[in-house]
Structure formats: C-alpha cells, structure tokens
Amino acid sequence: MVFSQRREKETVKETPQESKIEQEEKPEEKDFTPKEILPGSKSAYDMKLAMNSEGLFSADVKIDITNISNETWSELKLYFIPNMFTANNSPEIEQHSTINIKSIRINNKEMKYTLEKDMVHIPLEEGVTPNKSVTFQVNYQFTLPKTGEKFTEIDGNYYLAHWYPMVPTYRNGWNKQPYFARGESYHTTFSNFKVEYDIPEEYTIVTTGDNSFPNGKKNIIQAKDVKEFYVGLMKKPQVVQRNIKNVNVRVFGINESEKLLEEILVTATDTLTYFYDKIGPYPHNQLDIILDGPGMEYPGVVTVGSTRSGNREIASVKRTVVHEIAHQWFYGLVNNDPYFHAWLDEGITSFATSLFLGDDGANNVRLYNSNTERMPSNLPLNDYGEAPTFIYIYGQSHVKLAEIFTQHGGEQKAEEFFKEYVRLYKYKEVDTAEFVRFMKYYLKVEDDSLFKDWVNYSPLSEA
Ligand SMILES: [Zn+2]
C-alpha cells in the first residue's frame, strides 16, 4: 500500500483552481440520507456494585427497558456473560467464576427465569407493547475467574467487562446470538448508566464514566450514550496523565517502568489528537489506558496489555494503544453488530491505525497473503467454523480498504471519508450493506466492483 510518507502532501499548497474542483466534487449532504439500523430496544441502567476485601462482588442492577420495535415482546433475553466462566461452562480454566443470583424481578414481581450459557431468559406474563417499558431487576453475587480474558482477575487486580446483564437489540425477536469466544458475540445499543460503587480503600477504580484520581471508596459515576460500562479495579497502580483537547488522558500500570508509562502517554495523546482533528471530536472527558489484560476497547477505557505479559515489544504495545483508541470512533461512536459485521469496527480500526502510523499494516498484509481459502469479511462469527476469523475480519478488510483508497484519492481522501462517515453515523448503527451504500456514493462508484471478491452479497440483497 502507499500510505507511508503521506504527511508531506498536507503542506503542499493547492492552487485556487484545484480547490474549486475539489469543492465541486465534494458530495453534498442532501444527495445522501444515512439509513441507520434501528436498535428496537432502549435501556437505562441503574446499578450498585460493591466489592469486599476477598474479591467477592455484590451487584444490584435495575434496567428500565423500553420497547422501541414495532412488535410486542413476550419474553426478555439478556446477555449474562459472567456465567460463561463458571465451573459448568468453563471447566478447563484455572480459577472459575462463581455466580449466585438471588432474585430476578420484573416490574417489582419476582419471576421465574433460566440462566443458560451467556443468557438470562425470562418469559413475560404480560406482553410489552411498542413504546411501553418494563423494569428488570437482579440481585447477585459473583467472583472473577483468573483466565476469563476480559472479565478476569490478574494478580489481585479486577477487570470487569460485561459484568452485568446487558440488553440486546431487538430485530424480529431478541438479537441474542450464540456466545463465541474468538471475537465479540454481544451487541448492545447506546444507553445511559448510573453506577454506585463501594470498594476497598486500597483500590483505584477506572471506568467508562468520569472519575477523579485518587477516587473515594464510595461514589456514583454516570455515563451517557455508551454501549457498555467498564469497571477496572487496580491495587495501588502507577498513573501518569495529561490534558489534551480538553480530554484527561490517563495511563494506569502495575510495576511498569516510568519510561514506558511516559511513552505510552505520548502515543495515546498523539493518537487522540490525530483522530480528534482528522475524524471528529472524542466523545468523553477522560480516556483511560490500562496496561494490563488483553487488547480491548470499551467506551472511555482501553486495555492494552503490557511489556511484562508475553514478552511483548514496546512497538507492539504502542500499536495496540493506537488500535484500541481508534475504536473510540469505530465502535464507540459508530455502532455495528460485531457478531454479523465485525469487520466494520475491526477492519476500519485496523486501517485507521495504519493511517495514523503511516504504515501499511504489515501484519494484516501478511495475514491476508498467508490465506489460501477465500472467505468474505462479513460472515456471522459462527459461520467461519474453525477458520481463523481474524484473517478475514482484520486482515482482509484492512488490505481491501487500503486498496480502495489507493485507487480513490489516497490517505487524505480516506481521512475525509471516515470523517464524513462518523459525522453521518455517530450514535447510529451501520451494517455492511449501509457501509457499502455510503462508500459507493462517496467515491462515486456505480457498480459493486470495490467489494466483489471480499464481501458476501446474499445478506446485502435482503437488506
Ligand atoms: Zn479491535
């Protein structure tokens, strides 16, 4: 790909005539109306989370769920991912999670329910008609597994991704797909959260919502219009922070060198500045980077591992920092269902990471070239079978997006394209068909030639 050395051309002055052509060619908003994929459900979460000194958590969760689909609901299905790491569901892991649900109530009435794999299922006595709401409440205790990936304890630090029941989208029934460990099989829409916590004194809390450092033992944290609410609890972490673009960027580490923390902070602030300027404003007041756990994005928080784990080199940790921060736009602002259209956040994020770093994403190019079996980038996760999904979801879509912009205006055009994409679709959900429609419009391509050898068309024609 030809994305290196790209910054030179920004300094080249255009002649007035060229600017005029550029302006005339720029698509007008009136030509194109974005069609968002509607969520069908809308939720407001009010949660209490307490942890004792032994690592036992108690949660009290209340969710007001509104039916914004045009069907009547006869049941509720919620994700409950902590249950995937119990002795029953993950006998192979070292220290499994325990879950003890005390009660589930709907509109204050205790209900019968089933908890199977990553789902709580509650048949409703009375249907919920369109525009009506129900109040779901659950009271439960849990402990964390030691190798639960994103929901895990690491050396006395607790990382709580998807620790509470999460409401799926509703499309001809609840859009609750089977759990899939290699990827994100859960999909939610934008919601408001209020979380009241009570934790041991020596822990620092790092969350999706804004909080001060050092924090109090007890407090209430809120977050608006986010897909999920992450909580990290770290025992006496190191912290470095800097304010940039009115965003407080903080890096949290455990037993890291001062030099590494500072370097990561520079990478994080440079990344934030680039995406802020080129793609659009960052949607939170804080951006927290946790140097522990797997590389993963959450609203306002990213985890990126550290050089201590798995002998990783600094360059690899930095690349993960850039990738996970880029997700704040492609996942955090523009939503997509990661079970059916994972490439939309992972492929675009991988490509955007290379745009910022000014490289061709050698790893993804290698992945793509190593692959002998051609499969589309937009299959549902389970349809890849045993095939390594990352080849198609990360590698192939990154390489193909780079090829498209090599033919259509280069990296500057790519930045403009994604800026417009985020402007049109922020706080909305996009699927593959809608992305293809927007790209063909923006690049003025009539046929499907840009996508023919890597996007599956059968779901597109139904859409
Ligand atoms: Zn990613």
DSSP assignment of 276-301: HHHT---SSSEEEEESSSSSEEETTE
The answer to whether residues 271 and 325 touch, using CB atoms and an 8 Å cutoff, is yes
What per-residue confidence (pLDDT) applies to 30? 61
The whole-number average pLDDT for the span 412-436 is 98
Q: How far, in Å, from the CA of 304 to the mean position of ligand 1?
A: 11
> How far away, in angstroms, is 235 Cα from ligand 1 center?
27
The predicted structure's pLDDT at residue 181: 85
Percentage of the chain beyond pLDDT 70 is 92
Q: How many residues in total does the chain contain?
A: 463
Tell me what the mean pLDDT of segment 403-429 comes to: 98
Tell whether the model's pLDDT for residue 21 goes beyond 70.
no
> Within a 13 Å sphere around the CA of 205, how many CA atoms are in the beta-carbon half?
26
Q: Given pLDDT bands bounded at 50, 70 and 90, which one contains residue 171?
A: very high
Dihedral of alpha carbons 324, 325, 326, 331, sign: positive
Q: Is the pLDDT of residue 447 over 50?
A: yes
Which pLDDT does position 376 carry in this prediction?
96
d(CA 274, CA 6): 14
Q: Separation of 206 CA from ligand 1 center, angstroms?
A: 20
**Residue written as token pair 């394209």:** 417
Cα 61 to middle of ligand 1, angstroms = 28
How far does residue 329's CA lie from ligand 1's centre (Å)?
11
pLDDT beyond 70 at 445: yes
User: Residue 28 pLDDT > 60, yes or no?
Assistant: no
Distance 377 CA to ligand 1 centre (A): 14
Q: What separation in Å is there between the alpha carbon of 239 and the centre of ligand 1?
A: 24
CA dihedral of residues 287, 55, 182, 460 (deg, nearest 10): -60
460 pLDDT band (50/70/90 cuts)? low
Scan for tokens 């912290």, then name that residue. Answer: 239
In the prediction, which pLDDT does 331 show? 98
347 Cα: distance to centroid of ligand 1 (angstroms): 8
pLDDT of residue 183: 83
CA distance 233 to 143: 13
Look at residue 403 and give its three-state secondary structure: helix
Average pLDDT, the chain: 91
Encode pLDDT of 173-194 as tens digits.
Answer: 999 999 998 889 999 999 999 9
Q: Which two tokens stand for residue 390?
A: 């990352």
The torsion of the CA quartet 99, 103, 106, 111, rounded to 10 degrees, works out to 100
Residue 89 Cα to ligand 1 middle (Å): 26
Kindly give the distance from the C-alpha atom of residue 29 to the centroid of ligand 1, in angstroms, as a whole number.
30
Strand order, beta sheet including 98-106: 109-110, 98-106, 133-143, 57-67, 41-51, 191-198, 218-226
Is the pLDDT at 118 greater than 50? The verdict is yes
**Span 150-178, mean pLDDT?**
96
Q: What pTM did the predictor assign?
A: 0.92
Q: Which pLDDT value is given to residue 310? A: 64
Q: What is the pLDDT of residue 309?
A: 67
Q: Is the peptide bond before 214 cis (omega within 30 degrees of 0)?
A: yes
Is residue 384 within 8 Å of 392, Cβ to Cβ? yes
Residue 459 CA to ligand 1 center (angstroms) comes to 24
- The residues with which 195 forms a beta bridge, in sequence order, are 47, 221
DSSP per-residue string spanning 342-374:
HHHHHHHHHHHHHHHHTS--HHHHHHHHH--S-
What six digits make up the tokens of 339?
């079970």
pLDDT category of residue 373 using cuts at 50, 70 and 90: confident
**Which pLDDT does position 1 carry in this prediction?**
23
> Residue 84 corresponds to which amino acid?
M
How far does residue 184's CA lie from ligand 1's centre (Å)? 10
Distance, CA 130 to ligand 1 centroid (Å)? 35
